[in-house]
A and B are shown apart, each in its own frame.
Chain A
Amino acid sequence: MTYMPVIQTRDLTKSYGCVAAVRALNLSVEPNRITAFLGQNGAGKSTTIKMLLGMIRPSCGEGTVLGKLITNAKENREMRRTVAYVAENKPLYGYMTVEQTIRFASSFYSDWRTDVARRLLNEYKLPPQRKVASLSKGMRTKLALLLAFARRPELLILDEPSEGLDPVGIEHLLQTLVAESAEGVAIFFSSHQIAEVERVADHVCILDKGCLMVDASLDQLRQCYRRIDLVFPFPPDEREFRITGVERVRTKGHQMSVFASGNAEAVVERARDLDAISVEVAPVGLRDIFLETVKEN
């Protein structure tokens, strides 16, 4: 079966003066999946998300969200009806109470689910009569999430949804994401919580300095990335390990550590040909993949 991507961009670029925040991004986000969008602060994640939603104009390139052109105002309005979005800074009106905010938001959306809003209000333990301005950071995040989850969109775009949440709040958020995904909602979210991403995401995109560095399924990453630690009877020559898939080689005396994004078998064979005394292959977690990727760039 072939699906149309829920998000697709072609050479999407945003420059501020001579600084490129996002460079020629080619992104394709599949439906029926949880896709995580990782990157350091300032990597261009929020800029990308804002371009997708038509909040800022790309410098060049094009993109579609649910088949609608992001630079066409009319198509953009139609798209926003079926996309729920939680912004990075969780903008809410401080002078409204929690209850007023929920009632206010519900009036904008035809896909609003009153029962879900009520259930989440209860589960998040949000005080209905409290003014938004006096909420803690975690509570603000919960309220912003409630406003998105109470809808029944085709696509959920979340920018740092776990910001300010305690471990219990994060667990609840992840469960909600899983439940939404089971109902067929496509999810695209940015996060710094790598351990959490590693549990729930199907697919990972890593952005660094505006460029897409990794675009792969987590299964693929788990099966392909390896760290191979080697010990040789003599100081080894790094040039022997210029093999496809080898991302980084470090040597210290007789020891060598190879970080590979694939082809670990070829590294092991080469090491054996060079009479390695010890060969140890270890899996690499998403945290290390992320750190090595942004370090290398």
Chain B
Amino acid sequence: MFFKLTPTTGQPLYLQLMQQIRHATETGALQDGNQLPGIRTLAEELVVSPNTVAKAYSELEHDGVLELRQGSGAFVCVKRRTRSLADHVQVARRRLRDLIEGLREEGLLDEEIKRAFEAELLYPAEIVRKR
């Protein structure tokens, strides 16, 4: 499994790692029962603090995506719930594709669209609801 953490995106590294592992389970790159590297191994590989990996693993265990077994590492558990999430993601991607196509037709450049997306994603959820 390949992970890529970007320190400058304004998002904690452990959250980035969580999302990438979750994404990998949704795309099928990680399957039920697959083993992930130990905390130390992955931390050395990504050159990040072991606490980053430990926090991501323990949050994912809490969410039911991983099972941590004492001494033998982390195992992926993909239940039906996460599979249906994968379907949601597929539908969402189709909607995004249509939206982006529309924005391009209106003459927006890809860079402008990307910046707008990034800016909107940085708003906390509660403000979006208020608007």
Q: Does A200 contact B (CB under 8 A)?
A: yes
B122 touching A182 by the CB < 8 A rule? no
- How far is A222 from B5 in the complex, measured between Cα atoms in Å? 13
B49 touching A34 by the CB < 8 A rule? yes
Q: Does B11 contact A (CB under 8 A)?
A: yes
Chain A, 267-284, contact with B by CB distance < 8 Å: what is the 0/1 string?
011000000000111111
Shortest CB distance A258–B (Å): 14
B50 touching A182 by the CB < 8 A rule? yes
User: Which of chain A's residues have a CB closer than 8 A to the CB of B107?
Assistant: none
B118 touching A282 by the CB < 8 A rule? yes
A198 in contact with B7 given A179-B40, A182-B39 (CB within 8 Å)? yes
Q: What number of B residues sit within 8 Å (CB to CB) of A?
A: 26
A265 touching B47 by the CB < 8 A rule? no
Shortest CB distance A155–B (Å): 16
B49 touching A200 by the CB < 8 A rule? yes
- How far is A12 from B42 in the complex, measured between Cα atoms in Å? 38
Q: Does B86 contact A (CB under 8 A)?
A: no
Chain A, 200-226, contact with B by CB distance < 8 Å: what is the 0/1 string?
111000000000000000110011011
Chain A, 170-181, contact with B by CB distance < 8 Å: what is the 0/1 string?
010011001101
A219 in contact with B47 given A182-B40, A198-B7, A269-B127 (CB within 8 Å)? no
Q: Does A90 contact B (CB under 8 A)?
A: no
- How far is A226 from B115 in the complex, measured between Cα atoms in Å? 15
A281 in contact with B119 given A179-B40, A182-B39, A265-B124 (CB within 8 Å)? yes
Shortest CB distance A165–B (Å): 14
Q: Does B8 contact A (CB under 8 A)?
A: yes
- Within the complex, which residue of B8, B12, B48, B49 is in contact with A33, where a contact is CB–CB below 8 Å? B49
Task: Classify chain A: how many residues form its interface, as a range.
Answer: 20 to 34
Shortest CB distance B39–A (Å): 7
Which partner residue on chain B sits nearest A279 by CB separation?
B119
Which partner residue on chain B sits nearest A217 by CB separation?
B12
B49 touching A280 by the CB < 8 A rule? no
- How far is A286 from B10 in the complex, measured between Cα atoms in Å? 10
- How far is A229 from B24 in the complex, measured between Cα atoms in Å? 34
User: Which of chain B's residues have a CB closer than 8 A to the CB of A33?
Assistant: 49, 51
A283 touching B127 by the CB < 8 A rule? no
User: Which of chain B's residues have a CB closer than 8 A to the CB of A201?
Assistant: 49
Chain A, 23-52, contact with B by CB distance < 8 Å: what is the 0/1 string?
000000000111000000000000000000
Q: Does A199 contact B (CB under 8 A)?
A: yes
Which partner residue on chain B sits nearest A195 by CB separation?
B7
B49 touching A223 by the CB < 8 A rule? no
Q: Does A235 contact B (CB under 8 A)?
A: no
- How far is A27 from B8 in the complex, measured between Cα atoms in Å? 26
Shortest CB distance B49–A (Å): 5
- Within the complex, which residue of A32, A179, A219, A281 is in contact with B122, where a contact is CB–CB below 8 Å? A281
- How far is A182 from B7 in the complex, measured between Cα atoms in Å? 20
Shortest CB distance A50–B (Å): 26
B123 touching A268 by the CB < 8 A rule? yes
Q: Does B14 contact A (CB under 8 A)?
A: yes
User: Which of chain B's residues have a CB closer than 8 A to the CB of A32?
Assistant: 51
Shortest CB distance B3–A (Å): 13
Q: Does B111 contact A (CB under 8 A)?
A: no
Q: Does A128 contact B (CB under 8 A)?
A: no
User: Which of chain B's residues have a CB closer than 8 A to the CB of A279?
Assistant: 119
Scan residues 114-129 of chain B and give those whose CB is less than 8 A from a CB of chain A.
Answer: 115, 118-119, 122-124, 127
A interface residue numbers (CB < 8 A to B): 32-34, 171, 174-175, 178-179, 181-182, 195, 198-202, 218-219, 222-223, 225-226, 264-265, 268-269, 279-286
Closest 8 CB pairs of A and B: A283-B10, A182-B40, A219-B12, A285-B8, A198-B7, A182-B50, A281-B122, A280-B119
20 cross-chain CB contacts under 8 A: A32-B51, A175-B44, A175-B47, A178-B43, A178-B50, A181-B51, A182-B39, A182-B50, A198-B7, A200-B47, A200-B49, A202-B51, A218-B12, A222-B9, A222-B12, A223-B10, A265-B127, A280-B115, A280-B119, A281-B122
